[in-house]
Structure 1
Amino acid sequence: MFYFPRANDFALAPGYDYTPAGPDDFIFNHDTSQTVPPTEDILLDTPSFHNDFDDIRPFSSLNKNYIFSTKYEKFHVTPHHRAGYNKIYNFRRSKSFFFELVDHLPDTNQLQLKIYTNDYHMSSNPINHDSTSRLPNFKFQISKQLTHFFSTQKVIPRRLQEKFFTHIRKKLLERLDFIRSRAQKKDKNNHMTKTFFNFSYKKYRFYFGIYLPCNHTHTVGLLPNTTATCSIPVPFTMSHHRHACIIHHKNLVLYCISKDNKIPDSSLCKTFKDFHASHLYNRWTKKKIYQNFSNRLGISFTTSYHAYSTNVIATKGLDFIYGKKYGNLQFTPSSSPKVKKRQEARFNALVRHTFHNTKLDDNALTDDKLQAARRHKLLFQENQRFTTPIKHLRYKKKFVEPSKGCYTFPIPFPESTTVSVPVTVETICNVSSVASTSHGNPISPANINNWENVPEHYIPLIPQSAIYEGGRLNQPSRMKVWKKKLQPLAVGSDGWLAHMKEIYDHHESMTEYQQGKIDAGIQWETTPDQGEYRRDLCDLIMQVTNNKHDYEMKL
């Protein structure tokens, strides 16, 4: 028979010793004044897990029943900024419920547990409960408070309360361990641990958490000497028992984390600048190539370090020592169609945002787009490459070749002069190779068209304009061809055939894609676009069904 679990179902095991709280114990309701309510208390310093909460409370008795009550306590705050962790104070679109836990006997005859909430529709009438222990453990207290919550709320149906009851109680016990672990730390940092967790059912949103009062004093009324202790629940806790509500955030003691870089003990450098420069020099000499992935955008690219030539420093006056090279962009989308669609949408939005900030439209020149992408360190084409200078490490003088004796760290020039050759080839792209052939041998075999090497399936796809080096998506503009006197690739050469292979592969992929849309439209008896959408949706449903079937088979 289906029934709603009640807290009476959880009995306690007697016979455990009671350990009083010490001076360093974690205080839940810490207050040095005499205005602390009787229910405010401290938690034991002994670490425990929620699986052991059944057997950590004293005063067990199987022959006598003790009565305690649970009730709602309303709270309200006036500040309007309720974003981030302050969302627990929002009462229009969500409701908050913070469970107060007691771990020592109060001075009153009867124990009273409170649920602090900002839902003013909840009844404030207390509900009595029976217990065989004079001081129930945390699991029993939370069970009774959840019983009170489910018996007064009107949102979650009764048929689902059993599952949510166990789930919420487990999360609250885990949150209690998190809070105690963070508050007892002695670290001098500003890391925060939330005292609540999110819970939603259909369109209803709840925030369940452990009640931790603010305990900051504030003035009450017009008289400056009249003060009171704030009892509003706090959204987070920090090390050294630091916490505050939204009103008293400014009263928190925050540690100033120094941003000064420290030199490792194993290094012989005297300053961090020397250590950083030596580190970059080692990476440059080893020619390390780093592979970078972005699962959010579904792309991958490589980065490496490049040293500027002394000719650039002496002639152009650039004082940058190193630069960072970006390239080899590859699209690595997810296998899930839904995730792949989101990745493509994010990447396209990033490209549009970058060009919009530089006031470029879709019809802008390719050179302008590449320049804007280089300025914003954006890779949007597969054959795109650029180098950005590392601005925080520079030479001391401009228009002068650097000397080794002027620096306390190793510099890449002029000792390693052979490195400038590949850098020149990369920065000028194809100009060096074309210029050498044009001036030395203007009628070289590389510039003679050879139609015999052209495959037949490439001929219908040959573009009317000339083909230059750089790939299908990185062809130079007419202005760049005129300024740098670029020479087109000869028909039938290796570069020309590689370019045509890219065009042919792109044409085949687009043809296959369009044919797939047409077939989907015929299969679903609708337009190609709607057919593609229904096919992808059907594939997604089948994938989810197969995963569910595999999971059930494992069980």
Structure 2
Amino acid sequence: MKSREQKVDDRNRPKKSFFNFSYKRYRFYFGIYIPCEYVDKPAFNNDLSFSCSVPSPIVLSNHRHACGVHFSKKYQTIVLKNSTQTPNNKVGHANLLFDRWTSKEKKTIISKRTGISYKSHYTARNLQRIYTSCYKHMYAKTLDNFRFVPSTKASTARKQRERFNRSPRRVFGSIIPKNNGEFNYKELISIGRKYGFLFLESQYVNKRISHLKHTRTRVTPIADQFQFSIPHASETVPAVADVKADEIIETLAGPVLTALPYNPIPDMFIPHKYRNIIPKDPIYDEKGSFIVPGSREWFTFMYKLEIQTAIKVAEERRLRLIQEEQIAREEHKARVQKLARDEAAYYGTTPHYLDKRRKLTDDSTTLNKIYHDSMSRYRKRLLYNQDSLTKEHRKLKAEMKEFFLRFPQDTGILPAHRYAHKDRTTDENSASTSEDTKDLECRPLKCDVIKTSNISLHHDLVVRKRARHDSISDVNTTVAGSSY
């Protein structure tokens, strides 16, 4: 504790003045008694001063220790040795970053745990990138010059390789390659740049610094708009003061040289594909040098700009087509949903149960149609059987008709049908049955008992029903005729 207290250090590092440990079921606390030693002198009498003997709970470097009551009184000011330290605010950070960029300061990072080393430095976007890019960040942190230098000790080198191999598995293992194949060289480089991972000596990674940004994109930045230094800034032209009449103006002898206004279009033949994309502002290369319009570098810049513009136009067209296709798909979906709602309202249900209701309707219609077709065929066949009697049946029918006319009083012939128990003797005053009535009472559509399968088999020998004869009484007939 004494060595820690006597350590000369500018940082405010608190140290505890006690320690504790456990032994079996017991917990021990040991405190180091360092008195406060603050001399308190009352204002009314200096002879009554006394030294505080309360233990100090914490001990700081540079011999600083006191109790909680007197610490702020004993050490009111803390003087730092390095008074030229950069202020801890945004302006100080921006100026420090600007100085490191202008001085091209590089920092080497070494990791003995993984056996790798690389360098980092700050870069700023040039005006060409500012004009053609939609990003607003000023600086980027570049990581390059990657090296893997394991230790000369075999066991340490083996551990370093194991630790370094975890990073590729972590970065590349979380991404599934396309078509379940393998990553190619370009895909690995792209993934490494995305996640800020170095694994090749010729690789570099740019990390954007997002807390320092330009106010606008694709324009030359103006230094007066910021409270700190910025790269590639143009100074604003100060306003010219009005010259009063009584002021003495000193004229210069000789011609006055002035700069011509900037003309972005050179006085020469320019291809038609470059005329609509020439920037109105001055053009600079990656190193910040001015590119003269019409020079070879200018045509190279215009060639690259034309390719970038064509790619941008194609991308905008592709996005527009995708948007139009999405809108058409949504409209088609809305129309389908509207038709489904209308059809569901027609069936008296909701779109959720429309398919079920439509299937139920189709099944009912199909069954009714099958039943109608079957019954129609049966009725046609029954009528056809009644109309297509054989020659013997027609002859027998004529003989029976003639017999009833010759012997109207015959009572010996009665049908053997189960419904023939009724007495056929009628009154002499009853009227005779006409031929139309006989045809109607024939009932051709009545189900045939013999052909019906749901009636027991002892009815198969029952004589079929025949046409009704005349109501003329045949009881007194003495001549027998032919039997049925």
TM-score, normalization by structure 1: 0.30
Q: Which has the larger radius of gyration?
A: 2
TM-score, normalization by structure 2: 0.34
